[in-house]
Amino acid sequence: MQPTVPPPTEPPPTEPPRSKDERYREIVATLARHGFGLIGDHFVDDDAEREHARAERLRHACEELGPMFIKLGQALSTRGDLLPEAYRVELAKLVDDVPPLPADAIAAVIREDLGAAPETLFAAFDLEPLASASIGQVHGARLVDGRDVVVKVRKPGVDSLVRVDLDILGDLIDTWGPRLPALESYDARGVLREFAESFVAELDYRREAANERFFRQVFADEPGFMIPDVIAEYSTARVLVHERVDGRKVSDVDAVSSRRRAAVSQRIARFVLEPAFEHGVFYADPHAGNLMIGADGSLAVVDFGTVGRLTPDARRRVAGMLLAISRRDADRLTDRLIEVTAPRHPIDRPRVANDVERLLERYVDVSFDDVPIGNALGELLHVLRRHQLRLPSNLAALVKALVMCEGILQTLDPASSLSDYLHPMAGKLVFQGVGGGDGAAGRLRDSALDAAQLSIELPRRIDRVLGEIERGNLRVWTRVEDIEPLVQRLEHMVERANATMLAAACIVGLAIVLQLYHPQGWQQWIGIIVWIAILGAVAAAVRTLLGLRRRR
């Protein structure tokens, strides 16, 4: 039976809103105190030392401003297509670990949502939290049937604060946009919109519960996977209760046998890749804190708040990119990159292709199974940033998940490679079971696939173009080679023509004035003015003739 992809849920109930004006002043003051948003501020500095210092100040500002800014900083730390390395390194240091709220505050939320106090609902409830983050707090508990569970509660007031912060950040982008061209080049509004959709969905624990049930259903018949069961009757938009799973962190494997490490590595790769390519849903946060090794060697996974989704078209494009990397096909990879990034400005395709070609040349003597996919994807993000191309947020999340997954595999079992699993899955998705191949037959097959893809997409593209024409929104980007020198010559000609007309107008005007007005003693200085004018005219004529001669 095919698992059901969890649908979006209704927005969770919101707390009373906080004053936007008060929060706006707080945000602006904090950013200004750390040197952002001031006159002449260009955000990213060309000097490496100053850029590192500014990146560190940005991290401190995010820490002071609270949950939304910490989450935004963490999200941007993985976006090599948007930020320089100095900023990504600093933002990656952001830790979502804050002092816990008193147990009474958590109990009040449970009472509001579930209609009873924790001591009534559970046989036991730990007052000391297992973990406390900016959004939620986790407590251990035991059901009346004896099962140990984890109770995750959203902290009161977080929802309204996040929504106010997102609104203010949008206003700041609109304010800073005219003097920070990078905000427009990278579509900062679009980045914020995508982040807001993902983050607001993460606030709703019903969505996380649906994600957890989905992955549990996908791997229900697979041995070696342990995904906690959601206790539906105790779960709401602000409270999530699921079974408690215990195990050893995947970063603590000194006492684990090499055979068991290899088996767990395989399960981690399958857990990240198979739902992504087969169902269009992927686990987007596979870090060591969320993955554990059970006592029997099974893989236990927790925290399903961050889950990404891929449309069938996006899956085919990602698979095409991976196959292009495996075949060192720079032209095809360039085409796929431009397709998925949907640039908002003119693109110099030959330059992009040249950068992609240089990237692939580094792996020309390495088989795809030995390619460090994390490094290759990281370098690909640098190429995108160099040409101001931005990945959609879901694809950026997938890249982050793949890079994190490969890092964990290397820690667990250095002999394992994410490429071992990527290549067959991508090939199956694109070619639907038809094997690969090189030479003329491979190129013929690729051309046939391109033609088939074009025949499918052409009607939709024509309809889109016609719609833009009807709405008056059609934009045409053109590039004329070597036009800059011609424009400069035209500007010089216009400037000289303006100067000539202005001089002629002054002479004519002076002649008219002298016919009607004769100031006292004008005969003494009029001759000097005439000779100065004659000399200026001769000098201008000589300069013009010399300029014409040089252009010949």
What secondary structure does DSSP assign to 333-367, as a single string?
Answer: HHHHHHHHH--SS---HHHHHHHHHHHHHTTTTS-
Helices 188-203 + 67-76 axis angle, to 10: 120
Total length of the chain: 552
Whether the pLDDT of residue 18 is over 80: the answer is no
- Work out the number of other CB atoms within 10 angstroms of the CB of residue 491: 10
**Contact by Cβ (8 Å): 348, 397:** no
pTM over 0.75: no
Rounded to an integer, what distance in angstroms lies between the CA atom of residue 68 and that of residue 163?
A: 9
Sequence-ordered list of residues with C-beta below 8 angstroms from that of 501, at least 6 positions apart, any chain: none
- What pLDDT, on a 0 to 100 scale, did the predictor assign at position 374? 73
Catalytically active residues are: 285
Rounded to an integer, what distance in angstroms lies between the CA atom of residue 345 and that of residue 473?
A: 15
- The SS3 call for residue 139 is strand
Give the tens place of pLDDT for each residue, 159-187: 888 888 888 888 888 887 776 766 776 67
- Return the closest-CA partner of residue 159 out of 16, 61, 20, 304: 16
- What pLDDT, on a 0 to 100 scale, did the predictor assign at position 436? 41
Q: Which residues, listed in sequence order, are joined to residue 139 by a DSSP beta bridge?
A: 151
Give the tens place of pLDDT for each residue, 89-139: 888 888 766 788 899 999 999 999 999 999 999 999 999 999 888 888 999
* Higher per-residue pLDDT: 364 or 36: 36
**Contact by Cβ (8 Å): 114, 121:** yes
* Higher per-residue pLDDT: 493 or 358: 358
Whether the pLDDT of residue 408 is over 90: the answer is no
Helix (H) or strand (E) holding 142: strand 136-142
* Higher per-residue pLDDT: 471 or 51: 51
- The SS3 call for residue 423 is helix
- What pLDDT, on a 0 to 100 scale, did the predictor assign at position 209? 94
- Work out the number of other CB atoms within 10 angstroms of the CB of residue 140: 17
- Return the closest-CA partner of residue 7 out of 214, 312, 195, 302: 214
Q: How wide is the angle at C-alpha 317 spanned by C-alphas 314 and 318, nearest 5°? A: 85
**Cα distances (Å, whole numbers) of residue 338 to 168, 322, 345, 353, 364:** 32, 15, 11, 10, 23
Lowest mean pLDDT among 76-90, 120-134, 442-456: 442-456
- What pLDDT, on a 0 to 100 scale, did the predictor assign at position 147? 93
Rounded to an integer, what distance in angstroms lies between the CA atom of residue 347 and that of residue 479?
A: 9
- What pLDDT, on a 0 to 100 scale, did the predictor assign at position 34? 83
- What pLDDT, on a 0 to 100 scale, did the predictor assign at position 435? 37
* Higher per-residue pLDDT: 323 or 62: 62
Helix (H) or strand (E) holding 151: strand 148-154
Assign 14 a pLDDT band (cuts: 50, 70, 90).
very low
**Contact by Cβ (8 Å): 456, 448:** no
In one-letter notation, the amino acid at residue 438 is D
β-pair type (307-309, 131-132)? unpaired
Q: What is the mean pLDDT of residues 283-302?
A: 88
Residue 225 has φ and ψ, to the nearest 5°, of -120, 130
**In this structure, what token pair is assigned to residue 225?**
């996977």
Helices 373-386 + 349-361 axis angle, to 10: 160
**In this structure, what token pair is assigned to residue 331?**
């032209």
* Higher per-residue pLDDT: 154 or 359: 154
Assign 438 a pLDDT band (cuts: 50, 70, 90).
very low
* Higher per-residue pLDDT: 451 or 381: 381
**Cα distances (Å, whole numbers) of residue 469 to 342, 457, 475, 478, 501:** 19, 19, 9, 17, 43
Rounded to an integer, what distance in angstroms lies between the CA atom of residue 341 and that of residue 198?
A: 19
Going through 196-276 in order, the beta strands assigned E by DSSP cover 225-226, 239-243, 248-249
Q: Which residue bears the tokens 């893809």? A: 453
- What pLDDT, on a 0 to 100 scale, did the predictor assign at position 523? 65
* Higher per-residue pLDDT: 234 or 249: 234
* Higher per-residue pLDDT: 165 or 481: 165
Query: SS3 breakdown of the chain: % helix, strand, coil, rounded to 5?
Result: 60, 5, 30
**Cα distances (Å, whole numbers) of residue 157 to 134, 136, 152, 522:** 11, 11, 16, 85
Whether the pLDDT of residue 241 is over 90: the answer is yes
Rounded to an integer, what distance in angstroms lies between the CA atom of residue 407 and that of residue 476?
A: 43
What secondary structure does DSSP assign to 295-317, as a single string?
Answer: TTS-EEE---S-EEE--HHHHHH
Q: What is the mean pLDDT of residues 370-392?
A: 80
- What pLDDT, on a 0 to 100 scale, did the predictor assign at position 456? 63
- What pLDDT, on a 0 to 100 scale, did the predictor assign at position 445? 58
Rounded to an integer, what distance in angstroms lies between the CA atom of residue 269 and that of residue 430?
A: 20
What secondary structure does DSSP assign to 366-384, as a single string?
Answer: S-GGGS-HHHHHHHHHHHH
